[in-house]
Structure formats: C-alpha cells, structure tokens
Amino acid sequence: MGPPSPAHFDPLTQNVTFLGPDGKTPIGVPIPAIDAFTDGAVSVTLNYGIQMGACLVMLLAVLALTTPAAKLRRPSAVLHVLALAVALVRNGLLVAYYLSPVAHFYQLRAGDFSSVPRRHLYASVAGDVMSLVLVVVVEAALMNQAWTMVVLWPDPAKYGLAAASLLVTLLTAGFRLAYTVVQNEAVLALTPPLASMWVVQAAVITNALSIFWFCALFNLKLVMHLVKNRGILPSAKTLTSMEVLVMTNGILMIVPVVFAGLEWGNFQNFESASLTLTSVALILPLGTMAAQQISLRNASSSDNHRLAYYPGSGSGSSGARNAGSATTNTTSSALPAFKIPSMSTSCGSSPATRRGSLLSRCERAAKGPAAPAVDHFDLELRHIDSTSALAGHGDQGRHDDRV
C-alpha cells in the first residue's frame, strides 16, 4: 500500500499533465476544466440534435400537409421550407465541430492544430455561412409576414411600419455578414477575434432587436383589440384567417424573444443563441398551419349551420334526397296536368311542400359537380395579394376593424 494522502488533497481538482508538441514542455490542465468542457459539449450537441429533429419533423409536416402542392410555390411557403432546411443543415454542421479533431483533447488543450486536416476548418466555416443564410431567410420570412399583416392598413401606418421593419432587417443582416467574415477569418487563422469583439456584440444585439421588433409588431393587433375592448379577447369564430395567422404568430413569437433575452445570461451547459433562429423557423410555418386549420374548422361549422337550416341542401344526405323525391312524385301523380317548372325558373318560387327537393336540385345545378371545401385562408391570401398589387385604398379599413 502506498503512503496515505494528505488530508487537504482533493483528487478531483488535480491537474492532468502531458507534454507539448516539442515533447519536453509539460502542460497541465485542471480536471474541473476537462469535466466542464465534456459536460458542455454533451449538452450543446443534445441541443443541436433536438433542433435538427424538430426542424425535420416540421419540414415533413409542411410538405405533407400543404395541399395542393401548388401552395408550396407561394413566397411565404418557400421561405418557411427554406428556413427549415437551412436550420437542419446548419445544426448538423454545428454538431460536426464536436466530432472533429478540432475539439479533441490534445489539440484543444495544447493549442496545437497542426495535425487537424483543413477540411474540418472548412466545415466550421460552412457552419458560420449557413448561420448567415439562416438569418437572411428568417428575416425575409418575418418581413414577408409583417407586410402581409399591414398591407390593408392605412398608408401612413403601412409604409411607416414597413420601412422600420426593413431597416431592422437590413441592420441585422449587415452585422451578421460582418460577424461571419470576422469569425471565419479567426477560424482559418486559429486565433480568437479579440480585436473585433464589438462586431460580434453588435450582431447579437441587432439579432435580438429584430426578434423583439417583429414580436411587438405581430402582437400590435392583439394589443389594440385588448385596449379597445378592455381586455376581452375576440372569439375564434369571428376572426378572419389572416387575423388568426397574425395572432398565432404574435403569441408564438414570444418563445424566440425569451431565447434572445437569455443570450445575455451566463448559464452553464445551455446555449440559447442557436435556439433563437431555429425557434423562429419552426414557429412561422406552425402559425400558418394553425390558421389554416382554424379557417377550415370555421368553414365546416358554417356549412353545418347551413345544412341544419336547409336539410335538403346536402348532397350527402340520402334521407333528404329520398324525402324530396317522394314529395315530387306524389305531387306529380296528384296533379297529372301540372308540370314542374325547369330548374331555371323554380329556384326562387317553389311551394313549401317541394322546398327541400327543389332547393337541393337548384343548388346542385348552380354548383355543378361536387367541389372540395373552400379554403378561406387561401381566398384571403389571394385577396391580400390582389389588393397589394392594385394598391387599392377603398378596403383598407375593412380588414382593420375585424378584431
């Protein structure tokens, strides 16, 4: 047995000593520093992996649930799909850093990267470039969403908010571009960018400013309603599809605001910067799908009320068809000399005894073959697009008064 350890000795705080690249110089690394790096690497890679899974699931959901496929050619849908794809690739490249020799023990602790192939450095450069692309795509998606919200507002508010949003977007993208250049130069030179830290800080500040701005802009409509109606929220059945889209995106945008605020905190084994952009890429298509589902539910509810008021108008109601057919046959046999008028003349003047049958036939003649359910979300998007293209002013207040 060896000699007993001194009472003040803590084996968990001792140094791990190894030799430097010259084979002579000893390098000591405290065990707590090694454990801290290991814990941080595991937590960060788990964070990136969860983001990759969420982006993949959301991307598949958007591609599968967006029907018909022609909707995917809309600018908003293209930006949503592109943001999810870029976020997926970007997080994959961020995970690749911790699996490369750059993050191995000797290279990292000795500062000797001579044995690291250059392709691993290029992978880090690609990760920074993809982060820049994600910022640009996310900002474009937020700008597109903001314009969709304000396009029917009065001109002073519309152009003022659009100009402010464009300024915030350009500042964010510009400082992110500068940050990417500084960061990539540091990666290739294997030296930290200490002289250009203000660029890094400006990029973080403008990115958070952008998230805060668009969250406030998306929630502006809801705040206006709460102030006007003394805190009473509107009913989902009274909202238009675009108003639902604005409200869902506004409420969900609180999530990236929280992550952006956490970037100024010092949390062990938690990295929120990447979550800010990824959460925006996830939230925008989620809000769009929620608005579509609410629109379809409201449309289905309206159809059910119409069918309850006109029982014979549903093409799927066999009982109504049979009852209407029996009534018509009875009337025709009782009055052989009476001829039921043609569809073009009987739609508005049929007797009460033949109302169900004639109404059903009139509606079928007017509608033609059975058509799929009307997507009111699509109709409102087309209306906004046409209004924006024509620059009309007559309907600007109508959309604004619905909430």
DSSP annotation of 395 reads T
Q: pLDDT at residue 364 above 80? A: no
Under the banding of pLDDT at 50, 70 and 90, the label for residue 314 is very low
pLDDT tens column, 222-249:
787 777 767 666 665 666 666 677 777 7
CA distance 50 to 52: 5
pLDDT, residue 192, reads 86
pLDDT at residue 189 greater than cutoff 70 = yes
pLDDT at position 67 is 72
Sign of the four-CA dihedral 130, 136, 142, 145: negative
pTM above 0.85, yes or no: no
Report the percent of the chain where pLDDT is more than 90. Answer: 39
Amino acid type, 27: I
Mean pLDDT of all residues belonging to the chain: 76
Per CATH, the number for 15-230+239-299 is 1.20.1070
The answer, yes or no, to whether residue 274 has pLDDT greater than 80, is yes
Q: Give the pLDDT mean for 386-390.
A: 48
Token pair listed for 215: 């969250």
Which residues are 27's β-sheet partners?
18
- Overall average pLDDT of the 196-206 stretch: 92
Helices (H) and strands (E) in the chain, counts: 14, 2
User: Which of the given ranges, 47-56, 103-112, 227-236, has the highest pLDDT on average?
Assistant: 47-56
Lowest model confidence (mean pLDDT) among 37-46, 234-243, 319-328: 319-328
Question: What value does the mean pLDDT take over residues 346-358?
Answer: 40
Question: In which residue are the tokens 């304000």 written?
Answer: 150
User: Where in the chain are the domains?
Assistant: 15-230+239-299
Q: CA angle at residue 93 from 88 to 95, to 5 degrees? A: 95
Neighbours of 250 (CB within 10 A): 22
Q: What angle do CA 199, 200, 204 make, to 5 degrees?
A: 115
